[in-house]
């Protein structure tokens, strides 16, 4: 089992902040305006609804983790309760998602540094970040957890500060000559539901994508101290914390500013801090986004390396990926992921030499991670259905059951399918689903070819043994 090889050094404090770091990132700091434009102030309900969906997925995962807290958890559950193909697709989808996200975050680091040093080479910053984070991941899982804790803490502190200061602007008029702004912006510019039903679901698709990464709790469970207690505590608190931070921040934004003027403001975070007289607001938010990008990259190295380790245990790739260092870290997997990020960084630097514009190519590549990122959620909900039927005795005394099972599982699965449907009809998200379908189809074909090769090899070996006898 994986637990004999990887060291349990992550506390609930680490697990909660790792999950927060995986979900609260640049999408909130810079992407809030994109979701608001489709549905107006009702985006608050969209974040709350997506949060409820998130909670159901995490409770289904928690139900299984409580019984079997392993590294690569949802891949193992997919193999056992659905089909090995599901496990294969989940593992590689997760690796692909985190690799693409990590490369984009590394590139973003260079862009953020240009704010202070316009002539600083993007690739130099990227190499430094990759080497530094890979080194931290190689030292120990505790070093990774501690680094991610502080990265996430910076983001959380910034959001809390924005919510408090924003409420002072709304209620007391701080930064507005002491004239309270009040709450009228929530309904004064076309109503609360400005985009209607379609706009609401268009926004929901982007919000769901921004929540992707929270399932990393399932990967940390195999290296957690007292995993049962840590899993229950982490899942109970993490979803509500994310909802408070997301909904609190968005509430402040759509209350202070008319929703239909946000696209012209740039980052609402920068504008909110600047409104109350913090003159270095742009530099502050740039620093926070810099740490957010490093946090995303850090989580990417951890998550994808554990997936490679799990695939090695399942004999899907070379056993070399299961090798652990004296610090109990799967060092081959960590180094391979770091090298993959370096290759991505180099390709990004070389692409202008071969393409007239690499902007659209990058957008397509980045957006292709959205659908693969949803695969673990589908797998978790489906695995939990079979898990219940397979373990009736364990469920009698289980203290962390999925509420209203199985209706909540089916409801969450239905909503995810509906969201994908709206992504397909939305011109701005259509390409991400189509590219994601091609990625998953390609992985399924590779899996099928591998099975054919394995079966033919077994048949040849069997024929040789029969002829000898």
Q: How far, in Å, CA of 138 to CA of 133, rounded?
A: 9
Is there a cis peptide before residue 390, judged by omega within 30 degrees of 0?
no
Burial class (CB in 10 A: 0-12, 13-18, 19+), 7: middle
C-alpha distances (whole Å) from 400 to each of 265, 311, 406 are: 45, 28, 14
Six token digits for residue 405: 């099972």
**pLDDT tens per residue across span 55-95:** 899 899 888 888 877 766 788 889 899 999 999 999 899 88
In a domain, 442, yes or no: yes
In a domain, 372, yes or no: yes
Phi first, then psi, for residue 266 (nearest 5°) are 85, -140
Q: How far, in Å, CA of 274 to CA of 279, rounded?
A: 6
Length of the chain: 469
Q: How many CA atoms lie within 13 A of 53 on its CB side?
A: 26
Mean pLDDT rounded to a whole number for the chain: 81
In a domain, 14, yes or no: yes
Counting the structural domains of the chain, the total is 1
C-alpha distances (whole Å) from 95 to each of 179, 216, 284, 346, 382 are: 51, 12, 32, 19, 20
In a domain, 205, yes or no: yes
pLDDT of residue 296: 79
Contact 253, 77 (CB under 8 A): no
pLDDT of residue 256: 87
Q: What is the pTM of this model?
A: 0.84
pLDDT reading at 9 higher than 70: no
Contact 235, 61 (CB under 8 A): yes
Stretch among 244-248, 261-265, 316-320, 339-343 having the lowest mean pLDDT:
261-265
In a domain, 18, yes or no: yes
Question: Looking at residues 404-409, what average pLDDT do you find?
Answer: 93
Range of the domain at 241: 9-105+140-290+354-455
In a domain, 299, yes or no: no
pLDDT reading at 303 higher than 80: yes
In a domain, 133, yes or no: no
**pLDDT tens per residue across span 407-433:** 999 999 999 999 999 888 888 788 888
pLDDT reading at 21 higher than 70: no
Contact 181, 169 (CB under 8 A): yes
- Residue 385 has a CB neighbour count (10 Å cut-off) of 18
CATH number at residue 359: 1.20.1740.10
Stretch among 58-62, 246-250, 392-396, 453-457 having the lowest mean pLDDT:
453-457
pLDDT of residue 4: 44
Which DSSP string do the residues of 8-65 spell out, in sequence order? Answer: --B-HHHHHHHHHHHHSSHHHHTTHHHHHHHHGGGHHHHHHHHHHHHHHHHHHHHHHH
**pLDDT tens per residue across span 36-53:** 888 889 989 998 998 899
pLDDT of residue 192: 84
> What is the torsion angle, in degrees rounded to the nearest 10, for the CA atoms of residue 21, residue 325, residue 104 and residue 97?
-80
Taking alpha carbons only, the member of 251, 264, 197 closest to residue 38 is 197
Helices 281-313 and 331-354 cross at an angle (nearest 10°) of 120
**pLDDT tens per residue across span 139-156:** 877 777 788 788 888 888
Q: How far, in Å, CA of 158 to CA of 170, rounded?
A: 18
pLDDT of residue 103: 83
Six token digits for residue 308: 């490679």
Q: How far, in Å, CA of 74 to CA of 229, rounded?
A: 19
| Three-state DSSP state, 146 | helix
Helices 268-275 and 141-172 cross at an angle (nearest 10°) of 50
In a domain, 320, yes or no: no
């Amino acid at each position: 089992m994986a637990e004999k090889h990887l060291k349990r050094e992550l506390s609930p404090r680490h697990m909660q902040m790792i999950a927060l770091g995986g979900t609260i990132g640049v999408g909130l700091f810079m992407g809030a305006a994109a979701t608001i434009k489709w549905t107006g102030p009702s985006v608050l309900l969209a974040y709350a609804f997506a949060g409820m969906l998130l909670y159901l997925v995490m409770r289904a995962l928690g139900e299984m983790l409580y019984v079997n807290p392993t590294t690569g958890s949802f891949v193992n559950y997919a193999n056992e309760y659905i089909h090995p193909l599901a496990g294969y697709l989940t593992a590689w989808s997760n690796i692909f998602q985190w690799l693409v996200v990590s490369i984009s975050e590394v590139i973003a680091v260079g862009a953020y540094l240009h704010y202070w040093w316009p002539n600083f080479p993007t690739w130099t910053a990227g190499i430094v970040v990759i080497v530094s984070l890979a080194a931290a991941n190689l030292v120990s899982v505790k070093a990774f957890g501690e680094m991610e804790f502080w990265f996430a803490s910076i983001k959380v502190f910034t959001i809390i500060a924005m919510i408090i200061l924003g409420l002072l602007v709304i209620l007391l008029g701080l930064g507005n000559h002491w004239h309270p702004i009040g709450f009228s912006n929530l309904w004064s510019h076309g109503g609360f539901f400005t985009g209607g039903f379609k706009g609401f679901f268009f926004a929901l698709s982007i919000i769901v994508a921004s929540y992707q990464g929270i399932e990393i709790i399932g990967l940390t469970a195999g290296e957690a101290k007292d995993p049962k207690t840590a899993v229950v505590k982490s899942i109970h608190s993490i979803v509500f914390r994310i909802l408070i931070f997301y909904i609190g921040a968005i509430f402040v934004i759509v209350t202070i500013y008319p929703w239909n003027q946000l696209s012209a403001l740039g980052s609402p975070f920068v504008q909110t801090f600047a409104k109350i007289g913090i003159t270095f607001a742009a530099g502050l938010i740039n620093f926070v986004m810099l740490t957010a990008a490093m946090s995303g990259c850090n989580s990417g190295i951890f998550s994808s390396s554990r997936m490679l380790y799990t695939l090695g245990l399942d004999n899907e790739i070379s056993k070399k990926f299961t090798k652990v260092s004296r610090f109990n870290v799967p060092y081959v997997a960590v180094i391979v992921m770091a090298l993959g990020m370096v290759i991505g960084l180099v390709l990004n630097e070389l692409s202008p030499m071969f393409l007239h514009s690499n902007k659209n190519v990058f957008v397509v590549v980045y957006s292709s991670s959205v659908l693969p990122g949803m695969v673990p959620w589908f797998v978790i909900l489906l695995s939990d259905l079979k898990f219940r039927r397979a373990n009736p005795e364990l469920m009698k005394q289980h203290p962390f059951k999925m509420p209203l099972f199985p209706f909540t599982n089916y409801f969450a699965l239905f909503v995810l399918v509906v969201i994908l449907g709206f992504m397909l009809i939305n011109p701005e998200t259509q390409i991400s689903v189509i590219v994601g379908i091609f990625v998953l189809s390609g992985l399924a074909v590779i899996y099928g070819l591998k099975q054919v090769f394995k079966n033919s090899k077994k048949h040849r070996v069997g024929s040789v043994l029969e002829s000898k006898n």
